[in-house]
Amino acid sequence: MPEFTTPDFLAIGVLTYDVTPEPGNPHGRVRPGGAATFSAMCAQALGLNVAVVASAAADYPVESVLPDIDVSIVESGFTTFFQNVYSRNGERTQVLGARSSSITRSDIPAEWLDALIVFFGPLVREVPPDAVNWFPHADVGAAVQGWLRRWDDYGRVTEESGPNPDLANGYRLLAGSTTEFHESDPGEMAGWMASTDVLGVTDGSNGARIYAGGSPVHVPAYAADELDPTGAGDIWGASCLVRLAEGADPEEAARFANAAASLSVEREGLSGVPTRSEIEARLIRGTLNS
């Protein structure tokens, strides 16, 4: 049972299973995940007291996936799962196999409404884009991908462009990749920036660009031997938000997040979440991509 004391960091979103092809296994490989999971584990590894509000079925292995983290489950008939289907030329089609229940303000334990840092990790529109209003005194960030997803009757996932029309003002950080943010469209970028202090656009090994009121600032990535990129964007967003809340300027926070993400891709799945000491070591000794 969760202890309902006020956390430093609160992650909100669905818990998931990701199914990916595996040679010799006709059913594919099933791994737990979700943006809420990766962001919570990232904050825990940075030394924060962490809690999670998540939607999943009652049989989800919460204690083994999120050890030593207080988790309040919004019980659902299903756990969200995605199946990743790859064509012969390597293009990925993502299929939504099941969707968990949505999460509302009433699902947040009262004591957790005073969390200092809040990170939304929507994957299937389970959290409304105006949920920043639930936490008027917190540093609130979000990974925007799940607000842009659409799926057809067969579960095939596509993404729309531009900020959700219901996106509210008041975010400290909105994070996403070049898939979500179309930087060549000034109107779209202005729409996003109207809702946040800092906008972080990640671009893989090219690093990130930070929008914080003026011209974008490019922050180079750290060289990494990539094994598994799963969760790297969520770790980037969570670590950047934590550093912003700790008083770092946007460029410094993005540099820290780049180091965290570069470490995360060198290990597999949830084991890739780096500690603060590992991140600080990469900041000192890591090699920047040109």
Q: What are the distances in angstroms from CA 267 to CA 74, 223, 232, 271? A: 30, 14, 10, 6
- Where helices occur in 154-194 by DSSP H, the ranges are 186-193
Confidence band for 84, pLDDT divided at 50, 70 and 90: confident
Q: What are the distances in angstroms from CA 275 to CA 47, 220, 235? A: 8, 21, 11
Residue 49 CB-half CA count within 13 A = 11
Q: Would you list the domain boundaries of the chain?
A: 9-285
Neighbours of 127 (CB within 10 A): 25
Determine the CATH number of domain 9-285.
Answer: 3.40.1190.20
- Where helices occur in the chain by DSSP H, the ranges are 35-45, 62-65, 145-148, 186-193, 232-245, 250-264, 276-285
Confidence band for 214, pLDDT divided at 50, 70 and 90: confident
Confidence band for 160, pLDDT divided at 50, 70 and 90: confident
pLDDT digits (tens, 9 = 90+) for 258-282: 999 999 999 998 988 999 999 999 9
Integer Cα distance of 140 and 111 in angstroms? 17
Give me the pLDDT at residue 20, please: 80
Confidence band for 90, pLDDT divided at 50, 70 and 90: low
For residue 96, the SS3 value is strand
| Model pTM score | 0.95
Confidence band for 67, pLDDT divided at 50, 70 and 90: very high
Give me the pLDDT at residue 101, please: 98
Q: What are the distances in angstroms from CA 4 to CA 1, 72, 112, 137? A: 9, 9, 7, 18
